[in-house]
Amino acid sequence: MNFFVIGVNHKTAPVEVRERFAIPESRLPEATKMLATYPGIEEGMIVSTCNRVEMVARSVNGNADMRGFLKQLYNIDPAEYEQYLYEYRSTEAVRHMFRVASSLDSMVVGEPQILGQVKEAYATARAVGAVSSQLDALLTRAFAVAKRVRTDTSIASSSVSIASVAVELAKKIFGSLQGRSVYIVGAGKMCELAARHFVAHGVGKIYVANRTYERGVAFAKKFNGEAVPIEHLYETVDKADIVLSSTGAPVTIFRKEHGEKFLSRRKNRPMFFLDIAVPRDVDAKMNDLDGIFVYDIDDLQQVVQSHMSDRKEEAAHAEAIVNAEVEKFEERLRTLDVVPTIVSLQEHLETVRQAEIDRLRGRLGELSPEQEMAVDALTKGIINKIMHTPITTLKTAAKEPESTTVIELVRRIFNLHEKAKDETVKTGSPQSGPGK
């Protein structure tokens, strides 16, 4: 893993030093571009907040002169600030980013703002084309780890009601609720209490959809909101950043296919679902979608029951989650090394199969559609059996230190040509083939 992090934060540098490294928001895109195009660096992102300034990068060949970049960006001699700088590489860089996103490296452990700030830095980096493959995968996973930490621990909990916890969780996802829009499905007491908390925290717009439209109108008027007929729910709910649902419906009303459409129409801007209904209104599979955050009533009750004095214990739990996630991420990256070889093997054997069919087609004579299908199925079956052992061996070897040797051996046996490893998408899956 060719990841690097260099920076200063509240633990290593006083405010006057952090001020020297701070990058104004208006200059962040330009600085991020500089990082990504600096010699030896393939991808980059910069996080600049009041408590930390960090350069996160992936190098081309495992080497990156991060201090040289600081010299170029700030026109300083990094040696003057050496006592304040920290630098992480490879596994420790991954661990650091997971801890930062999870607010384990914050001045107040568990505070919600840092996740939003890292996401904003990520959005800036993507906008200028500075993040593409492995760094993209690292950051995407960091957000998932942060989500898991906040779901599986009570590290940031101090609220005392379901409604107030709902608002606090929304703030953890978005950093701030100022100007955010909320869509409330249902018009019961809990929905009204939650609406009051959302308004108190500065949300910009409240939509209300209820089975009885007139009741929805009355509810919306209390908060200067907008009532929506329930039959227009699916075509309008994606207007909101936050959806709070409590309908009493016997089955889920929001499913994974709905979430996919919402994200598409929102151009993948995140949505946060708070499901306080029993039975649940939101299918748990919605949580599998990147960009959709779902919390149900049990999640909220666990937070309510937690206490601030438990924060140290919860922080230890969170650290254990991070450590486990680092190992999983490393394993996934090692698996990526075998993906191009698997794809090459598939393409090579498919080419052989098609060539042999074409070569024998004249001798076979005219075939009926059923015969064509039989020949196709037969030859594909043979190829799949041939591929099974080398592909299984490659996937198993990906978890072991000798993976490079096995990859090279398979490529030599089948005379495969090299393919670029960056053919993989950010999730670590090949663009085609069974490794997907």
- CA–CA gap between residue 85 and residue 327 (Å, rounded): 26
Running DSSP on this structure, what letter comes out for residue 327? H
CB atoms under 10 Å from CB of 410, counted, come to 20
Running DSSP on this structure, what letter comes out for residue 430? B
- CA–CA gap between residue 352 and residue 382 (Å, rounded): 12
Apex CA 53: angle with CA 5 and CA 96, to 5°?
40
CA distances from 251 to 144, 210, 279 (A): 27, 16, 7
Whether 50 sits among the annotated catalytic residues: the reply is: yes
- CA–CA gap between residue 420 and residue 340 (Å, rounded): 7
Running DSSP on this structure, what letter comes out for residue 80? G
CA distances from 175 to 37, 86, 114, 171, 226 (A): 30, 26, 7, 5, 25
Write down the H helix ranges in 282-338: 297-305, 311-336
Catalytic choice (15, 39, 50, 255) = 50
CB atoms under 10 Å from CB of 297, counted, come to 17
- CA–CA gap between residue 203 and residue 287 (Å, rounded): 23
Virtual torsion, Cα 167, 171, 177, 181, nearest 10 deg: -70
Write down the H helix ranges in 337-368: 339-364
Cis peptide bond upstream of 29, omega within 30: no
CB atoms under 10 Å from CB of 381, counted, come to 10
Q: Percentages helix, strand, coil for the chain, rounded to the nearest 5?
A: 55, 15, 30
- Report yes or no: 337 and 397 within 8 Å, Cβ to Cβ: no
Residues acting as catalytic residues: 50
